[in-house]
Amino acid sequence: MAKFASIFFFFTLSLAMRDMYVANEVKVKVVPTLFIFGDSTFDVGTNNFINTLAKANVPFYGVDFPYSIPTGRFSNGLNTADQIAKQFGYQKSPLPFLALEKFQNGFKKSILNGVNFASGGSGILRQTGQKQWQEVVFLEKQVEQFAQVRGNITQILGPSKAAKFVSKAVFLISTGSNDLFDFASNDSNIHFGLEEYFSLLQLNYFSQLRNLYELGARKFGILSVAPIGCCPAVTFANGGNCVKPLNDLAIVFYKATQAVLQKLSSELEDFEYSLANTFAMTSALLNSPSTFGLNETKSACCGIGKFNGEGPCLKALNASLCSNRDDHLFWDWFHPTEKASELAAATIFTGGKEFVSPKNFSQLNC
């Protein structure tokens, strides 16, 4: 009873604080609202609601969630979006837009707690991932969904408070890997060319970030692409070794993203960003796993075939599952473990300039 009462008290108190903050703009220090975009590194259940092959709502996904419930996260437990949200003071990521939309009743209250739009298999380009995974929510569509939410926030708070609310929110984005995988796997791109492809990516990324700015976003926390040439889905066919051309694409992507962000911040007033170099972070883990408490960086914990990299972590396909998840960098053929995501999030939040610049994510929060 006492426990119930204190939980209830806490609940009403936190609602009261939120209301006080929103209604009277009392300067109570609260965690920033998070709006989250991108691919499977950030997806917390979006793909459960669409017709796609990129799904993680079946075992062994979620094996370390309470009751081992698979939620749609491409992880054994929390994913990178959750771990960054934790650094900001939440328990995990806000809910997926498609889930909130389905349960209209709580929609209005929920969107003020943040929304996650990320969709596994998606990329910056509209067509990315569609051949391999069928339907995905591409970045442009995620931004359109945010535009709707923005309208709803205005309905709830009125125009000026809504603008202030959105300007204080942090916009987290992790995308690009699937665009690079698609580029690398398409023979006709040998003719299309690297430079043209990256110009296209930059143009599209620029315009989506600009659209978010027009909708009132001011604080951006962006993740670049990890060394995708080192994930088990790639290395199993290369004797367990990283594939350099893919890693080189990830390095170029970082520089391309940096250029986009520099341009936006020079053109747009109050545009504030932090760019996490996930390539550098993951390389540090690969070079010295024991420093970070890991001891297995080649094999995925869960999957099929060599290095568990030949197929997804699906119990129905007789995937093998390791017991020492926290020792592994990779959970499945493409994705990090909950533990590796936690390490990355800590560096993203408070790390130095070699990993996150021109400031770290904690410095976006003021």
Ligand X SMILES: *[C@@H]1O[C@H](CO)[C@@H](O)[C@H](O)[C@H]1NC(C)=O
Binding positions for ligand X, rule: CB under 6 A: 107-108, 131, 148, 151-152, 155, 186, 188-189, 192, 295-296, 317-318, 324, 327, 350, 352, 360, 362-363
Could you tell me where the beta strands, DSSP code E, fall in the chain? 34-38, 115-116, 170-174, 219-223, 272-276, 302-303, 320-321, 356-357
Name the minimum Å distance from CB 188 to ligand X: 4
Catalytic residue (one of 40, 119, 174, 299): 40
φ/ψ of residue 361, rounded to 5? -65, -30
Residue-wise DSSP of 127-152: TTTHHHHB----HHHHHHHHHHHHHH
| Closest distance of CB 148 from ligand X, Å | 5
> Which amino acid is it at 96?
P
248 catalytically annotated: no
Among candidate residues 38, 173, 172, 57, the one with its CA nearest the CA of residue 118: 38
Round to whole Å and give the CA distance between 282 and 341.
Answer: 10
Closest CA to 299 of 316, 268, 275, 322: 322
Residue closer to ligand X, measured from CB, 73 or 95: 95
Taking the least distance from each CB to ligand X, the nearer of 131 and 255 is 131
Q: Which CB atom, from 68 or from 127, has the smaller least distance to ligand X?
A: 127
- Using Cβ positions, the residue closest to ligand X within the complex turns out to be 352
Shortest distance, CB of residue 336 to ligand X, whole angstroms? 17
Q: Give the nearest distance from C-beta 1 to ligand X in angstroms.
A: 36
Q: Which of 179, 224, 335, 341 is catalytic?
A: 335
Residue 40 bears catalytic tag: yes
Give which of 241, 278, 257, 206 is closest to 41, Cα–Cα: 278
Specify the residue, 71 or 280, whose C-beta has the smaller distance to ligand X.
280
Respond yes or no: is residue 19 known to be catalytic.
Answer: no
Active site residues: 40, 332, 335
